[in-house]
Each structure stands twice: as structure tokens, then as C-alpha cells.
Structure 1
């Protein structure tokens, strides 16, 4: 409760701020939370607690909010539907089975992996599936009661009180972009009065817009808010997604003919987010010339028009506070 943002009492139509309220949050009667002027410090896990008329917690939902400096995906914004996870049935009792059903998976999946909690540690990996090889590799968190389907859905058999918590699905696409989706799994006792699998709907949180950018606003929109509730409460977890070593990346070159000459675009393709990118030309940092345009995150470099002196070897360097990697060189002209 020390990390509470705000509690909304429906019977009094009253919103009460909590210690983690910064003055930029608004809690609405439909359960949604508005964050204004988001910063990097706002990234992290957000949990919604639903309280019944007896002030008991009857359901929870958790999501991880990513905050990016600026959105630029080297020439195009990501507009595809976000992968989501549905619990089937939405309410689970001990000893039963539950399917974590994946919706809107990308078509170009290179690999996918399920983690108990989050993707920060290899020890938390339940299973990994590689569609190209139709191979499943079980991880350290595999209990022997899970079944991983080819569509990415995860089936848990004979659930126990050790199974509740956050589950994360990480998807790596063939273009080396990555996607993540999370779901909060709750397990009730067999005699629980709060669990009716036939009438329950899964509580779900969706960020709008899908990607939060620094300085802008984002609404954590709530779906399937239960009826006959007394209040709900938003909390910010003190745990943040720790940095991991950056993934190997590569440079892609595309040419285009424009009026009066030819332009060339060098794109540094990395599946990682929240990293710094530096362009390297003939083993030196790229000079700043009027003919050169960098994307805001420096993942894309356009030279227009291109000249003879631009011929040479191009690389890009990707780094965060943990590690740094340099791509293999590419040459232009090819």
C-alpha cells in the first residue's frame, strides 16, 4: 500500500490520492488511470486492485508500462495490433487447468518464450518455441505441468497456489523487432465465493496510446471491470525492468533514386529498446554534414544526395548502461 497512486470509492464518487501520487495522475470512475507528461521514471509495473463491498481484494491486474524517449522505428511507426493474453477460463481454482491464450501474434515470429514474472532472468523462463524448427525448449521455471502450443499459447495443468503471479510472453520477429505481453494469473481455492468461471470476465489493462512517449500522456484503460465493487486502487511497483545486455544487431542499406541524384539510407536494426545508437563510418563517428539526416533515435541515417566521398564501410554501435555491441560492417557501394 506504500506504493499506492490513488483509490477510487464508487459509493462516494471520491478519488483519494496515495503516497505515489505525483500530481500528474487522474483516476476515473471506470477504473482507468491517466498519466500526464510521462517521464522515464514512470516506467514500471502498474497494478489495479479491485475491492468488493467487504473491502476484500477480489481481483487484480498488472501491466508493465514502457516509456520511450521518442518514437521512430527507422522510417515507419508500428501500427499492428498489440499481442494480448487471455486467461481461459478467466477464473481458476486449485487443481484446474488454464490456457493463457495469445491474441494478435505477429505473423513473422522467429522465436517466442514464456517467463514466470518477467524477462529479466533466464532462470524465470518456462519454455521457448522456435517455429522454424518446430522445437520446444523447456526452461528452468518449467514445472512439468505446462504445455506450449505452436500458436504461442501456454496451458497449465493442475494449478496450485505456487502458480499465481505475472506471466510474460516475449516474441522475437524475423525483422528482429520484439513484442511483449503480460497477464496476471490468480488462483482461488475450490470453495472461494469470488470465483465463478462461467460468469467471470478477465480484468485487463490496455495502454492508450500503445506506446508512451516522454512528455506526452497515456491512459491505462481498464476492461471488464466487475460489478458490485466498492472501490479500486492503483499501485506502482518499486520493481522496474532491469537492463539486459544488448542483442546483436545489423545494418541494412536501401537505395532510392530521386530527382537530381541518388539517396541512400542506412538502418541499424536492433530488437532492443531504450538503447543509444551511434553510426560509424570508416571506423570513425559519422561527421555531421548538411546532406545527412539522422532519425531522432539515430537508428536511421539518410544521405541525400550521395557522393563519391561517401563510399566506404558503415557500422552501428548499440549500447546501454550494461553493455555495448558493434554490428558487422557493410560497404557502400555494394
Structure 2
């Protein structure tokens, strides 16, 4: 009877016996010249594969132009090569980027918003290559100088004023508004005023502040609210004149007061010559004598603050020869001019009554005086011309808008809110 141990060995006998038999046959059948060589693998190549690297930062929320950042590729492994990339590109040549001797550490000097990333570090050895997940810096910056939209600055009464302030900043900045230097309750990007009036004209300031960077910026926008100007018209002593013989008088008719008047010729600014003269208020244009280059379309434009309206064009035809041309009589023109001046005086008196009788807060005086009415004077052709008060001969080729800029300081003082405040 077999023992249990003998039974167990009998179960393994075929395996062990067969293996021993094969080994014996191999060694016995090898040629005498053949030697068995055993090669030992270096321990470093035998180590299991590189682990996935990861990036740590000394400051994940740096402030632009202030902070430095150190990025380190972990873990540290001997005999491993480290490589870096930013935005899927190799590191650029920059004096602000520094690598350690083993390339495992990347230093960013005085970071900017362009250094946000993403960054990736890569490890390599003979056995494997591994890459980290992308790492992004949260660079705090701004605010930049804000802008106020829309760009429109001139409004009519009754419209809606909606201004929005925009500034690049991380994180988004805090907003506040000033109107004429006074703080407002608006603490959002948008300032909204329905049904604006003339009193809403002024200087609007948007303030932006970043509590993380400690920086603050502002921008200013001037808003002008003004009534629209009525459309003027032109009255002419003649529309067909003889060259070098006739004179012509053009009158800009408008019921508006407190305005400035500009003249246009062929849809461009009118340039005064030594044959042209303007009345004190720019309403009456005299050309004496008329030449062929004066033929074309004339328009007058009324301007109240920065709101303007232009008349329909009036065509002046200039012919050569001695043919007589008919137009309004001298008496008719003189009567019209006198009526225009009387109407202006009445309108001005009414405006003064409203201004000083009902709006006593406006203490500025008005020192303007109406000039004497122009008187008819026979011209070289026998047709009536008009003598109008003239401040002096205007230099040749001086544009009306330039003359207005330098001489009509009263209207531009009203246009400029800062000049008005200084007065």
C-alpha cells in the first residue's frame, strides 16, 4: 500500500520527468564548440514604465508685470529627460523664460497675460515617453483704459441715453459713473437715462477698478443734448447775372436764434474772395461783381451746438454779354432785408424775455446789438446792390468755417461746455 506522499509525487512525475529528459537531451546534443551565454539586463532598463508627469506652480494666480512664477515637472526621476511646450509650441526665446540645468523647472519672470498657457511637460527615457495634462495660469491683469459706447455724442431731447463702459480686465472690474464730477448710483457697466433733456448735457466719466491688481482707470465722454435746427432757405436778389457787371445778394432765412451760419458752394465750404462780403451775423452774402467762377449751387447751414440743418441748393447762373436780366427790385430786396432784421430783433427780444424772465439762474448778459439795415446803392449795371456792415476786408481764399472758428467766439463758447463753465 502506497503512502500519501508517494501518491502525491506520482501525480507530478510525468511533468518533472519529461522536463528533465528534455534538458538532458539538449545538453548532451550540443556541439562541443557551442557555449551557453547568459546576458544580464541593466537594472535601469528593467524598471517598470515612466509614470505620467504633472505640473505644479509656485503661484497659480500671478499679477501681470509684478509676479514671478516657477513651474516644476513632477515627479523627479533619475536618467530622465524633461521637455516643455507652451500653446503646443516649443518654448520661445525670451529673456523672461529660464530653465533649470535638468530642464525640470521653468521660471517665468514678470508674467504677462500672454503667459497664460497652456503648458505641458514631457518626460523621456529609453523605455517610454509621457506627457502631462495641460496647465493654465490665471494671470490677473487690468483694467485697461475703458471705452464708452456708443460713440455718438449728440442727442435730441426726449431720446434715451444708454451708455455702456467696456474694459479688459481679469477678473472683471467694478464699475462706477460720474456726471459732471458727481458720483452716481449706477454701479454697473450700463448707464441708462430715459427721456433726456438739455439739462442732461455734460461730462460723463466711467471709472473701473480691479480689487485684485489694485489698479483703476477711467475715461470721459461729453454728451450734448440740443433741440434740432429748423431748415433754412436762401433768398437771392438775382439768380441769373451778367459777368463783371452785376452784383448778387444772398440772404439765409431762418427763424432760429442763438445759432451760427455756414455757407457752402457746390457742396463744399465756401471760400471767401476779395469780391465777397458777409454781414456781421453771416446771414447775408454779397458778391460784387460776379464772375463766371461764381456760378453754381449755394447753400446756407444753421448750426445750434452740434445740431445743424442745411437749406436746399440755390443755383446761380452767370452769363456774358450786355443782356439785361430781371430779378427782384432794389426796393423789394431792401424791404426784405429790413423785414428780416426786424424779425430777428423781435425773436431775439422774445428769447431774452424767456431767458431772463423765466430762467433767472442764467446770469450771463447779452451784449449783441443789431446793425443798421443795409441801404440800396446803385451798382455798375443799374441794378440795386446793398451796402452791408462789414468788419473789414476778408483775406483771399479764407474759408467761412475757419473765419467762424476764430471770430465768432460767442457761438463756440456756447458749444464748448468747458468754455461755458469757465465764463
Q: Shared topology, TM-score over 0.5?
A: no
The structure number with the bigger radius of gyration is 2
- Greater helix fraction, Structure 1 or Structure 2: 2
TM-score category by the smaller chain?
under 0.3
TM-score (norm 1): 0.27
